[in-house]
Amino acid sequence: MRWRPPASIHTRLTLWYTGALLTILLVTSGFSYWLLAVALTRDVDPSLLGLAEVIRDSVAAGHGASGALEAAVGLDSEFRDHFVQVVDARGTPTYLSSRLEGRALPLSARALDNSRAGEQTFETLQRDHRQVRLVTLPIVRDGRPSELVQVAGSLTRSHRALARYLETLFVIVPLGLGLAASGGALMARKALAPVDAMSRTARRIKAEELSRRVELRGTGDELDRLAEMLNEMLARLEGAFGEMRRFSADAAHELRTPLTALKGGLEVALRAARSPEEYRQVLGASLEDVDRLIRLAEDLLLVGRSRADLAAPRAPVDLEQLALEVLDVGAQLAQPRRVTIRIEVGEPVTVLGDVTALQRAVLNLIENAVKYTPAGGLVELTVDREDHSGLLSVRDTGPGIPSGEAARVFEPFVRLDAARSRESGGAGLGLSIARSIVVAHGGTLTLETALGHGSRFTIRLPAAG
């Protein structure tokens, strides 16, 4: 079975903290143990060298090694445990201390070579199942070593000190690790307590209670910024849910009107026997209501798709060609209303997008302009390039829009002239669909208008290349 990490952040933080601390303690303990071992060895070496120099001077002066050793032991009882021997240039012992018990200390080739060069040599060797430290010091006469003084001291005390230090580490490291882990667990629990509180608050917030917010502590730290982000997200969700509810209510209202009219006409027709002509009139009126319902359903479907994602397959779109294709449809709409429609093209520009969706957005703008332009008026399409953007604007000579109402025209089901909309069969979704399509393409749709001076809708899209 594969090991899975704990789900709790508190547990994972504690484990990570404990693991990191354990690594640090092991590294520092090993390094301190090595430093202590080096220090203890260095403490032994000066002692051996000091005794070797005393014996060397005594032998060089002709007083012998035994007298110098007895004098040294008298000054420091620690020298009683040292091994001393003097050998000639060929390595034959000329003096052995009593502790050697007749067994001479070894003379290595390295020590012999260093002695010929007049240098001292420190070595560590095994004797009677224990380690000893050995120094070899030459006695130089007439410029060359005549004898060698060797002094060895046991490393048992150093090893005992290291063993005691190691035993101390075996107690201190687990104890310190346990205390640190407990403290780390408490600190992690305290640090994550606000996160638990936020999660409990967020869990209690439902779709019907989006007005509730996560409480801020006022510390200004990362957790407060997280709470602010959650509150901002809740505010956006509240707005989105509110917009969805309004959209659903408006859609239901728009659907209910033609359905009620359709039902009323059919009920009247069924109350008494009618002539074939009367039935045809009722069916014709009903068909108009059905057509209106179909257009409304298509618009609602397009609004839903555009809000979800209209970033379908993108291809290069020539705005001039798109405007010319839409202009033909706009001319058919404008002719019965005696409205003139024309196009002006500045610098050609190509954008990336879904040509069908963009055609629908521009056509909605033209339909809106034609509807609200009086007979003899003008609707003008303009295509141009500005910096790294493509511009397509639709200008009309209609009555314009009051400045306070300009922002509302892009909202679904908003009709500033309700009577005119009912006459044309519109549901107030055209501009909302157009803006959704443009925004889905990474662009903007803006309105410039003044009461009595017409309106200009401008689509701005990123240019390709």
Among 308, 339, 357, the domain-final residue is: 308
Pair 331, 290 in one domain: no
DSSP per residue, 379-436: EEEEEEEETTEEEEEEEE-S----GGGGGGGGSTT--SSHHHHHHHT--S-HHHHHHH
Phi, psi of 415, deg, nearest 5: -130, 110
pLDDT of residue 226: 79
Residue 133 counted as domain residue: yes
Of the three residues 133, 161, 189, the one that is the final residue of a domain is: 161
Which strand ranges, in their side-by-side order, compose the sheet holding 130-141? 93-96, 83-88, 144-154, 130-141, 121-127
Minimal CA–CA distance to 358: which of 446, 464, 437? 437
Q: CA-based angle 342:344:349, to the nearest 5?
A: 130
Sign of CA dihedral 106, 112, 114, 118: positive
The CA distance from 107 to 234, in Å, is: 86
User: Quick one: 276 and 213 in the same domain?
Assistant: yes
245 to 241, 251, 293: CA distances (angstroms): 6, 10, 20
What is the rounded CA–CA span in Å between residue 284 and residue 191? 72
Residue 116 lies in a domain: yes
Q: How far apart are alpha carbons 64 and 82 in whole angstroms?
A: 17
Contacts of 395 (CB under 8 A, 6+ apart): 369, 379, 380, 382, 454, 455, 456, 457
Rounded Cα distance between 348 and 390, Å, is 9
Label residue 325 left, alpha or beta by phi (over 0 means left) and psi (-120 to 50 means alpha): alpha
At residue 221, the 3 state secondary structure works out as: coil
pLDDT at res. 383: 93
- The one-letter code for the residue type at 309 is D
Same domain, 301 and 320: no
pLDDT for position 103: 81
Q: Is residue 440 part of a domain?
A: yes
Same domain, 146 and 22: yes
Q: Is residue 457 part of a domain?
A: yes
Has residue 84 been placed in a domain?
Answer: yes
Give CA angle at 336 (334, 341), nearest 5°.
20
Per-residue model confidence (pLDDT) at position 390: 92
In 237-357, beta strands by DSSP E: 315-318, 340-345, 350-353
Which residue among 97, 132, 161 closes a domain?
161
Whether 230 and 287 map to the same domain: the answer is yes
Q: Using CB atoms within 10 Å of the CB of residue 161, give its burial: 0 to 12 exposed, 13 to 18 middle, 19+ buried.
A: middle
Q: What does the pLDDT read at residue 379?
A: 92
Write out the chain's pLDDT in tens, 465 residues: 555 555 567 677 788 888 888 899 899 999 999 998 888 877 788 888 888 888 887 777 766 666 555 555 444 445 566 788 888 877 788 888 777 777 888 888 888 888 888 888 888 888 877 788 888 888 887 777 888 888 888 887 888 888 899 999 899 888 988 888 888 888 877 777 777 777 777 777 776 666 777 777 777 777 777 778 888 887 887 777 776 776 666 667 667 767 777 787 778 778 877 788 877 877 787 787 777 777 667 766 666 665 555 445 678 999 999 999 888 888 888 888 899 999 998 888 999 888 888 888 898 899 888 888 998 899 999 999 988 899 999 999 988 887 767 767 777 666 555 434 444 445 567 788 888 888 888 899 998 888 888 899 999 999 886
User: Based on the domain organization, do 340 and 454 belong to the same domain?
Assistant: yes
Same domain, 390 and 316: yes
Question: Is 236 found in the same domain as 325?
Answer: no
65 and 149 in contact (C-beta within 8 Å)? yes
Q: How many domains does the chain have?
A: 3
Residue 311 DSSP one-character state: -
In a domain, 146, yes or no: yes
Say whether both 123 and 255 belong to one domain: no
Residue 173's Cβ-side half-sphere holds a number of Cα atoms within 13 Å equal to 18
Residue 258 is part of which domain span? 205-308
The CATH number that applies at residue 391 is: 3.30.565.10
Domain holding 134: CATH number?
3.30.450.20
**Pair 146, 277 in one domain:** no
Q: What is the β-pairing status of strands 340-345 and 378-386?
A: parallel
* Confidence at residue 420, expressed as pLDDT on a 0 to 100 scale: 42
Examine the domain organization and report whether 20 and 147 are in the same domain: yes
Does a structural domain hold residue 410? yes
Do both 15 and 53 map to the same domain?
yes
Whether 286 is covered by a domain: the verdict is yes
